[in-house]
Amino acid sequence: MRKLIMLLLFFWGNTALAAPVISPERYNLKLLETAPLLFEFHRLTTTSVKQEFYFPKRDSTWHANAAERERNALLKYGSDKVFLAASVVGGVEYCGGEILGDTIWPGFDGGLYLRGYVDSLEFVLDARIYSEGHSAKIPKSFDGEYIDIQSGENNDGIEYASYARYRGHIALNMGFARFDVGRDVVHWGPGYYNNLALNQFSLPFNSMSLDLQAGPLTVVSIYGDLRIYKGYVNEGNKNARNLYGHRYELNFGDLIIGVSELQVVYDDNDIWLFVPIVPLFIEKGNYTESSNNGAISLDINYRLFNMARIYTEFFLDDLHSPNKLIENKDVQSKWAWMIGLQVGHDFEYKTHLLELGMIAEYARVEPYVYTHFKSNTAQMAHLEVPLGNQNGPNSRTIDWLFYSRLDDCWMIALHQRWSWKGTDAGSSLDDPTPAYHAHINKSFLRGAKMQYSITPILGYEGRFTNFALEWTFVDDAKVYARMGFKW
């Protein structure tokens, strides 16, 4: 019966997931899925499939089934070793919020979505142009990336914001290895909202990565090209900030143990750090302290009876000594911790499938985590946004999500968040970390007030169209609504 249900859903329901790469969630460039990574995590929780917690990653089933999965593409070509599918994508959006200080309406986007393969080379590209109306005198960027403001003086009295966005990958599959070059957000670890090393709710950057498989061990190496300031016209972005990272995952079936190590370098780039066997936490000592910033994290995930996952991550940015870390008083004791639980189950009735689940996460990030000795240098950030936990240093966050999806099409969810953010030294990414020899006490969440928000989420994912609505109430009030298409 389950096979029949899945077969019917395959032919009738959402086919938006057809792509050679499984990517994290997106602020922009929305396709037909309301929350694709959420339901990938649901699949990892409720089935016996191999668990892997690094994204973007290859969808190994796409290549073999591309012709059938892409049957609705506007243009399609296939031969023995070549396949190409092209779709027109776009939509209209209404969004804004109190913190943003702007309302975007109407917001239009349109572009081309390409995917395909040539022998063992796979590629995907989503490129779009945007045009938006803004209520604020100085338009704000909803997704945190750059926007171009067209003044009325130069456009017959019409003022609007326009810009372009893209995400894409081109990857060579070599059996035991995969080399990928592209632009995307990177998400490492078993958490959904609060991963501490690399988090899906950060902003996309250009990168290249190498995935190696050796039995139960997976090694992922990444190089990323980061930007310091949000404004693309800021001359400070000529100064180079680069990311290197390695993730090691040991797979014991239901138990996954992962280690992620990061090194951000400022005007001291060396491609040697990309080599998978180079331990960054050791190699860091060979660099000038003022030009590099390193961290390491350990995460553990355990799946129980194909019904739940419990997971945790400990992130270490810096320390004087183990004793100082345990005392947790000195500013050099820079660490973060996250723990979470996901529960899920699928219910079948006749030809219908209902997916239900819950995610609960708690995260604590100490003062000065992700920061560096001098502002706007080797911070663990891109475009003034942390690469890891989005609440940044000196914060505490609790997330609670209930979600459901019917027939792979209708999604209803409710997300609640409780958050605290300190206001004194060490709360901002660009607060300079005191010199290593300076023994200064820190304070956690001094001056912090609890912020609470509740967000109902509604989504419809059709074969050619979608609708999504997220409306946040109480603190951090905001709204996001979209009608989109893919043909």
| HSE-up of residue 411 (Cα within 13 Å, Cβ side) | 29
HSE-CB of 349 using CA atoms within 13 angstroms: 4
Task: Say if CB 378 and CB 264 are below 8 A apart.
Answer: yes
Q: Is 447 left (phi over 0), alpha (psi -120 to 50) or beta?
A: left
Phi, psi of 286 (to 5 degrees): -90, 5
| Burial zone of 56 (CB within 10 Å; 0-12 exposed, 13-18 middle, 19+ buried) | buried
How does DSSP assign 277-308, residue by residue?
T--HHHHGGGS-GGGEEEEEEEEEEEEETTTE
Question: Which residues are registered as beta bridge partners of 296?
Answer: 261, 316
Q: Which of 473, 466, 386 lies closest to 195, judged by CA?
A: 386
Q: What does the alpha-carbon distance between residue 465 and residue 486 come to, in Å, rounded to a whole number?
A: 6
- The tokens 């100064």 sit on which residue? 239
Do you find a cis peptide bond into 432, omega within 30 degrees of 0? Answer: no
What sign for the dihedral angle of Cα 386, 389, 390, 393?
negative
What number of H helices and E strands is found in the chain?
A: 5, 26
Per-residue pLDDT of the chain (487 residues; tens, 9 = 90+): 455 444 434 433 444 457 899 999 988 899 999 999 999 999 999 999 999 999 999 998 998 889 888 988 999 999 889 999 999 999 999 999 988 999 999 999 999 999 999 999 999 999 999 999 999 988 999 999 989 887 655 555 567 789 999 999 999 999 889 999 999 999 999 999 999 999 999 999 999 999 999 999 999 999 999 999 987 667 777 788 999 999 999 999 999 999 999 999 999 888 889 999 888 888 887 888 888 999 999 999 999 999 999 999 999 998 878 888 888 888 889 999 999 999 999 999 989 999 999 999 999 999 999 999 999 999 999 999 999 999 999 999 999 999 999 999 999 999 999 999 999 999 999 999 887 667 788 999 998 999 999 999 999 999 999 999 999 999 999 999 999 999 9
Within 10 angstroms of residue 168's Cβ, the number of other Cβ atoms is 17
